Amino acid sequence: MYVNVGDTVKRGQVLAKEDTFEADQALTGAQTQLATNQSQLEQVLHDVTITQSRRILARDRDIQGNTKRVEATRHSADEYAVRQAQKQLDTEERALQQAIAACELNPPRRPLPPRQRPRPPAG
């Protein structure tokens, strides 16, 4: 304190000075704690981001695996359909060859008549 009770003072004169040591110490401690808390928060957010990224990656890998299995199944089905179609084609080619051979061995004696359209019913 710069003045005592009853002293004459002038306008703007400093009357007393407050000791801020304890307040400064508390402020420094609070700032240190804030920095620590912010660092911990950043680490938690980082960990959460990594965890979420790992979950997304695992989900994407599952989707990719499922897609590969579906594509493999479709491919197998397509291959089966091609084999079946080839068998059918082979069967029909043999039947055609047999029909050609039968015609060569037994040619028709007279020409076949032209195909006639059925007459419409009388109305």
Which range (31-40, 95-104, 107-116) has the least confidence?
Answer: 107-116
| Alpha carbon distance 104, 101 (integer Å) | 5
The whole-number pLDDT of residue 49 equals 94
Between CA 82 and CA 88 the distance in angstroms is 10
Per-residue pLDDT, 79: 96
Residues whose CB is less than 8 angstroms from the CB of residue 14 and which lie 6 or more positions away in sequence, other chains included:
2
Q: What is the pLDDT of residue 111?
A: 66
Average pLDDT, the chain: 89
CB 3 within 8 A of CB 13: yes
Cα angle 100, 103, 109 (rounded to 5 degrees) comes to 160
Write down the pTM of the prediction.
0.47
In the structure, what pLDDT confidence band is assigned to residue 81 with cuts at 50, 70 and 90? very high
